[in-house]
Amino acid sequence: MSSIDPKDVEERLSSMQAQWKEAKPEFTPGDRVDDGVYQTVIKDFDFFEGKNGVNAGKFFIKTVFEIRHDRKFNGAEESSIHNLEDPEKFNYLKRHFLKLGVDVDTLPMAELRPGSDTLRGLLDVPVEIAVKTSDAKDINGVNYVNTFVNQRLGDSLGSDVTPQSLLDSVAKPAETADDSVPF
């Protein structure tokens, strides 16, 4: 049991409220992370259609990574986007999934769809990524940020980052009538 008087702690902390309110965190969600190498887990896969130019109407897959074990950017998200309908860029797509530990030689392309067993099996998998700001700029003059998978770091952690939409489609564990499961 602590010998610190809770009233004393409350008073001392209350006296610092103005400084607390003015303090700015180094990183806030939505900020870009610095170029570098980060340990992450795969948080989600998102799918969308391109809206402009040569990519209009084409399917894309976005792999969302959540940074872990980093003092400054812990919890930040980075993503990698790949065109699913441009054969000239399939080499990048295959390399991406190969680095995630997928056997791309036997992978049917149709497995790269929302809710597939392959993608569900990659959720919460720890991977090392590299983030690099490109010299190329978008139409607003903002530099593109490229995210590359360096390597898979292990098996799925089964953590709390699995999106509920994907959990809903996963089979539920069997229930026993006598509750004799030893754990």
Q: Which domain holds residue 112?
A: 29-159
Residue 65 within a domain: yes
Contacting residues for 107 by C-beta, under 8 A, at least 6 apart: 97, 118
Residue 170 within a domain: no
pLDDT in tens, 27-71: 666 678 999 999 999 999 999 999 988 899 999 999 999 999 998
Residue 173 within a domain: no
Number of domains within the chain: 1
pLDDT in tens, 84-131: 999 999 999 999 999 999 999 999 999 999 999 999 999 999 999 999
The whole-angstrom separation of Cα 167 and Cα 156 is: 14
Closest CA to 79 of 40, 108, 36: 40
Residue 78 within a domain: yes
Residues paired with residue 69 on neighbouring β-strands, in sequence order: none
Residue 16 within a domain: no
Q: What is the pTM of this model?
A: 0.72
Residue 12 within a domain: no
Residue 167 within a domain: no
Residue 38 within a domain: yes
Pairing label, strands 126-137, 59-68: unpaired
